[in-house]
């Protein structure tokens, strides 16, 4: 096993704005695949608010990144026939930034704040009266001559999105009337999303190839769409007019993703656990040092997938490979089935 991490491993970490334009963006709940239970709830909420000509209740959407929180918010705005403004919590460093946005909102419009848990506390406090009473308090001037100005705003809907719901402060959380979680997608749901995106990209893709991509997408549509674009690149360079299972397998192996959907970093984590600790347990900081990766990235990016797939487990003494997986991994990495 090599310690180098190819650039293709960043496929599960980030997305460039240039690539977003190539993604199929659902415009309605019918076009949005997966999250069926949540989707039915949101249909009811939005249609009821539209029938009353009222703003939708404030909503908190939480779950891992890449599952479609922004897309669902855009669909809700489309259904209610209102405008939507999208911004990021960490980018609003001054109260004036938020006040400016809130004062420009149209009646019943939606304000979507991504990573809302990272919003500075002094900015977050402006939201309290805005969400509850539809007004903002602005301080004009400084020192003894400062005056407080009460500025009314139009009724609106705040949709806060977060990947770490536990970091939402209690005062802010209590003001959300609707709180919903997005779950990871199944391989079959991702297969449908891949086929939908392939049609948008005008790429011929077989059912088996789409399922293979879905199995490697770590339960996340955003990753599935990235992998599809790379498969398309590979098929085009190979002068193939259809991406079948063989072409898709070769493309994924080229990207460093094996048959189990594990990237080179996933395999490196498991390999180091096997080579140095006979499968563990080992502390997170020690493991991070062995693979030259920071522990936060291991914990938030790689561990969730390995835990869900049963390749890793957490114990009071550290991370370890479950006993039932040891024979398989020993054969995979060392060509043997006996315990090390």
Catalogue the active-site residues.
69-70, 114, 163, 222
Chain-centre distance for alpha carbon 204: 27
Angle at 321 between CA 316 and CA 326, to 5 degrees: 145
State both tokens at 140: 């004009």
Residue by residue, DSSP assigns 219-239 as T-HHHHHHHHHHHHHHHHHTT
Instruction: Give the β-pairing of 313-315 and 157-162.
Output: unpaired
Per-residue HEC secondary structure of 173-212 comes to HCCCCEEEECCCCCHHHHHHHHHHHHHHCCCCECHHHHHH
- Identify the three-state secondary structure at position 262: coil
E strands, the chain, are: 59-62, 84-88, 110-114, 135-140, 147-152, 157-162, 178-181, 313-315, 318-320
State both tokens at 310: 């049963």
């Amino acid at each position: 096993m090599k310690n180098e991490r190819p650039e293709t491993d960043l496929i599960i970490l980030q997305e460039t704005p240039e690539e977003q334009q190539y993604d199929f963006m659902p415009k309605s709940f019918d076009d949005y695949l997966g999250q069926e239970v949540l989707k039915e709830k949101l249909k009811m909420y939005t249609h009821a608010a539209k029938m009353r000509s009222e703003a939708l209740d404030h909503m908190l959407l939480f779950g891992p990144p890449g599952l479609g929180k922004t897309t669902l918010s855009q669909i809700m705005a489309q259904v209610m026939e209102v405008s939507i403004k999208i911004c990021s919590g960490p980018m609003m460093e001054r109260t004036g930034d938020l006040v400016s946005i809130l004062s420009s909102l149209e009646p019943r419009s939606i304000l979507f704040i991504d990573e809302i848990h990272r919003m500075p506390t002094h900015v977050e406090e402006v939201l309290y009266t805005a969400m509850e009473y539809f007004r903002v308090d602005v301080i004009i001037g400084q020192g003894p001559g400062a005056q407080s100005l009460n500025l009314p705003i139009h009724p609106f809907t705040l949709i806060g999105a977060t990947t770490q719901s536990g970091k939402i402060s209690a005062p802010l959380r209590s003001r959300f009337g609707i709180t919903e979680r997005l779950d990871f997608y199944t391989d079959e749901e991702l297969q449908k999303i891949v086929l939908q995106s392939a049609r948008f990209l005008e790429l011929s893709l077989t059912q088996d190839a789409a399922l293979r991509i879905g199995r490697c997408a770590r339960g996340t549509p955003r990753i599935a769409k990235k992998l599809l674009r790379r498969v398309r690149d590979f098929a085009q360079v190979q002068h193939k007019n259809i991406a079948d299972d063989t072409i898709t397998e070769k493309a994924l192996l080229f990207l460093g993703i094996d048959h189990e959907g594990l990237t080179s970093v996933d395999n490196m984590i498991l390999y180091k656990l096997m080579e140095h600790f006979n499968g563990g347990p080992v502390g997170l900081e020690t493991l991070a040092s062995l693979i030259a990766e920071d522990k936060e990235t291991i914990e938030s990016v790689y561990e969730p997938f390995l835990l869900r797939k049963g390749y890793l487990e957490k114990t009071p003494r550290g991370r370890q490979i479950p006993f039932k997986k040891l024979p398989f991994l020993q054969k995979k990495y060392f060509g043997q089935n006996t315990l090390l």
